[in-house]
Structure 1
Amino acid sequence: MQAAGPLLNGNFEQAPNRSQMNGSRVTGKYAIPHWKATGFVEYIECGAKQDHMVLVVPEGRHAVRLGTDSSIEHQLSVTRGKYYSVTFSAARTCAQSEKLSVSIVPGDASGGELPVQTVYTSSGWDSYAWAFKARQGVVSLVIHHGDDQVDDPACGPIVDAVAIRTLNPPHATHQNMLINGDFEEGPYMTPGSPWGVLVPPMDEDATSPLPGWAIMSYSKVVKYIDAAHFRVPHGSRAVELVAGVEVALVQEVATVPGRSYRLQFSVGDAGNRCAASPMSVQVATAYGGKRVSYESRGTGGFVRDKLDFKAEGNSTRVVFYSTGYHTTSDSSGTLCGPVVDDVSLVSVSHPHARRLLR
């Protein structure tokens, strides 16, 4: 398995044999090269029409559409014990509720359901990330559409541009007790894709596509962005809080009761016309919090701030969330929000930390 990149025929440009199709529907289980199709699966070409709607293909000329209780499956060669993140694009095609889930077989969990009801870009589709820990050297990635509350069995999301990346989580240090505080380690981003990758909420035991960080929400996401297409305060990656108070970025870290700590971070905008006066992020621990405001013109920039607190327990949960809801100023309805980056936590009594804080 490659360290990062598209799966074999992950963009579905290698077409099924026409003898194993009925119109756009795939009738042969192994008709799509490198994939196994189950249920009502269609092979979609860019510009195809459904009633009066033109179907959107996220990348290239072709994609697949998953109808009611259908799935696509791809076998992966991985390294046992390693962590991986899967990225793919999805677009809704019907007015009904569409439920898309991802799982690994064999695996310890049934997988995660992705919240595809909210569209975060004006294009009509989004890229999502999902992660897992490999329990065996050969596993199967399954993307499943399981909604049975629809009138049309063909109704379901379009899926395209499936890729994978090996995750290499950094370690906490005296210089930063937080893991991946600069967000440089995260899911695969397709080169040239200007829309970022959505990281959905996860169960507490789930593997995070953003190592060290959990996304806490009922149905909303955060957006992972890169410096090639957005303004990023530090390095090449950051997180944009696009769903207001409905989602929080969280990390739990071991602390010593009675010891003082300093949390430092950057808050800004992604340079994507997300203008707001002000744009605010709530930063919190169990022992204190503050609201950090940033006057955004939507052209990039950030402020640096800090939160000092004294721990009272053996662990401290660090939380970031946007206090408001924002859309870009181009009237497209694209959801946006404040950017969080370059987060560090140090004990102010540690000699390494004292040097850093001077």
Structure 2
Amino acid sequence: MKKKASTLVLQFLLLGFAYAADLLQNPDFESPPPSLPANSTAPFLLKQNDTLPGWSFDGEVYYLKASGGGHAVQLAQDGRINQTFAASADFEDYLLTFAIASPGGASCSSNGSVVISAPDSQGVFPVVGEQQRAVYGQFLGSWGDGEAIDLVIGSETTESDANATCWPVVDSIVLKSIASLVKANDNELVNGGFEYGPDFLADSTEGVLLQPAQSPLQSPLRQWSILGTIKYIDSKHFAVPQGNAAVEIISGNSSGIQTATQLTKGSSYALEFTLGDGNDSCVGDLEVRAQAGSVLQNYTIQSKGTGSAQKFSFKFKADSDTGTTPISFVSYTSSQTKDGVSCGPVVDDVVLRASLGLRLAIQWKFLLSLLLLVACVMK
């Protein structure tokens, strides 16, 4: 009985769990069509009788096999691929990471797009000619009970006579599931360290672009809305102040992140966070406006692009009549690295703490609930 109680207590304290193994078949297209000619490096048009392991396809789809290794599909006129996967028995959120490119480079227009859709979502992702490859993240939906989920990836263009070499190329797809997240004992915010988001690609060094998401429940950065375009960065390739991941605000023009939490009106709180640069040669004054409720503060860090970071904090009183207090970090400026890549300030390790008196009351309430749970289990 004691072992069972300990197990339940452990489950009660878990903050979340991410899983990304074997959710899709042939996600990187390394298994070629059986009918692919041996030693062929030319684009191979998939015909009606061909098969692509793990995937179904419609329209004009090419299989690409590079001479130096690497495999992908090109989605030409009305081209699309799809795969059905089974959701887990538990209700979980599903996040997708994928890479797209324009094989024609700068000679291609930027009108082409990739459309990703699932039963609960659809996203349109532009293919920019000047940028050979871009990695995106998307929230697909929330499912459980072994539901069959159809993932569809297709092409879209606004041109009636698009250049055949400019149709988008898709490769390196990763599907990840995340269980429900809850607050940690020492932080009123969920996912304040930004550890829960789309997976990073093993063959990518550029981070993951996240497009605008109005709802934190439908955002690939779990529990945070996205304003404008941001970059989700990892500690393997960037300077991340804390943990494995952080957010880089790259598009300026009121871009950033926002969340909201239930606070006790009239009580005092402190918002703590870290600002820095991603060690990506982003040089200059990087400015961020932090907001907690009705209190706004502007912060500027002087970046040399070498990975410096600085902690900040300010105090405020919760004043919302509804009890929901918005927390946000917004940048109004953007910059570029020496290679012409958009960059900006890095935000990480966001912690919202209650005043000492309120925090002690919350801790006692938490301990009392935990003791009651243990007592019920041990009866």
What TM-score does the superposition give when structure 2 sets the normalisation length? 0.79
What is the distance in 2 between the residues matched to 1:169 and 1:266? 25
CA contact (8 A) 2:267 2:358 kept: no
Matching residue of 1:3:
19
In structure 2, the residue matched to 1:18 is: 35
Matches within 5 A, 1:133-282: 133-134=142-143, 136-152=146-162, 154=164, 155-191=166-202, 193-204=204-215, 207-217=218-228, 221-276=229-284, 278-282=285-289
In structure 1, the residue matched to 2:5 is none
Please give the per-residue CA displacement for 1:83-113, whole angstroms capped at 9, x wherever unaligned: 1111110113431512322122xx2x34222
Q: Which residue number in structure 2 is paired with residue 102 of structure 1?
A: 116
The alignment partner of 1:351 has SS state of helix
| Map of 2:347 onto structure 1 | 340
Counterpart position of 1:51: none
Distance 1:287 1:325 in 2: 25
Residue of structure 2 in register with 1:50 after alignment: none
Q: Distance in 1 between matches of 2:324 and 2:238?
A: 34
In the alignment, does 2:20 pair up with 1:32? Answer: no
Partner of 1:311: 318
Counterpart residue identity of residue 82, structure 1? E
Measured in 2, the distance between the counterparts of 1:279 and 1:214 equals 21
Matched, 1:88 2:98: yes
SS of aligned partner of 1:177:
coil
Is the aligned partner of 1:46 residue 2:54?
Answer: no
Q: How far apart, CA to CA, are the structure 1 residues paired with 2:48 and 2:254?
A: 42
Corresponding residue for residue 306 of structure 2: 299
The answer to whether the 8 A contact 1:68-1:148 is kept is no
Q: In the TM superposition, what is the alpha-carbon distance from 1:19 to its structure 2 partner?
A: 7.2
CA drift at 1:203: 4.2
3-state DSSP of counterpart to 2:253: helix
Deviates more, 1:308-317 or 1:179-188: 308-317
Unaligned runs of 5+ in 2: 1-17, 364-379
Please tell me the residue identity of whatever aligns with 2:96: V
Give the stretch that moved more between structures: 72-81 or 225-234.
72-81
Which residue matches 1:289?
Answer: 296
Q: Secondary structure at the match of 1:15?
A: coil
Which letter maps to 2:51? A
Change (3 A) 1:162 1:245: same
Are 1:268 and 1:296, in contact at CA under 8 Å, matched by a contact in 2? yes
What SS does the corresponding residue of 1:150 show, helix, strand or coil? Answer: coil
User: 1:320 — aligned with what?
Assistant: 329
State how far apart, in whole Å, the 2-side matches of 1:63 and 1:312 are: 53
Specify the structure having the higher radius of gyration (Cα). Answer: 2
Amino acid at match of 1:324: T
> Against the structure 1 CA distance between its residues 138 and 184, is the aligned structure 2 distance closer, same or farther, given a 3 Å change threshold?
same
Alpha-carbon distance in 2 for matches of 1:309, 1:242: 28
Q: Which amino acid aligns with 2:20?
A: A
Q: Give distance in 2, aligned partners of 1:209 and 1:99.
A: 19
Aligned residue type for 1:151: D
Q: Deviations over 1:255-283 (max 9, x none)?
A: 2222222111000011111111x211111
CA distance 1:209–1:282, change in 2 (3 Å): same
- Whether the 8 Å contact between 1:174 and 1:346 is mirrored in structure 2 is no
Say whether 1:350 aligns with 2:362.
Answer: no
CA offset at residue 23 of structure 1? Answer: 6.0
| Shift in Å, 1:65 | 1.1
Determine helix, strand or coil for the equivalent of 1:133: strand
Q: Which amino acid aligns with 2:92?
A: K
User: Which range moved further: 298-307 or 256-265?
Assistant: 256-265
Q: Contact (CA 8 Å) 1:87, 1:128: kept in 2 or not?
A: yes
SS at match of 1:245: coil
Equivalent residues, number: 331
| Aligned partner letter, 2:317 | K
For the 8 Å contact 1:213–1:250, the answer to whether it is kept is yes
CA contact (8 A) 1:133 1:207 kept: no
Unaligned runs of 5+ in 1: 48-56
2:60·2:76 contact (CA, 8 Å) conserved in 1? yes
SS of residue paired to 2:196: coil
Contact 1:233–1:268, Cα closer than 8 Å, also in 2:
yes
For the structure 1 residues 133 and 264, does the alpha-carbon distance in structure 2 shift closer, same or farther, using more than 3 Å as the test?
A: same
Structure 1 or 2: more helix by fraction: 2
2 CA distance for matches of 1:43 and 1:234? Answer: 40
SS state of the match for residue 244, structure 1?
A: coil
Residues 109 and 128 of structure 2 are in contact (CA less than 8 Å); yes or no, is this contact kept in structure 1? Answer: no
Q: Which amino acid aligns with 1:227?
A: S
Q: Mean alpha-carbon deviation: is it higher for 235-244 or for 344-353?
A: 344-353
Partner Cα separation in structure 2 for residue 99 and residue 150 of structure 1: 14
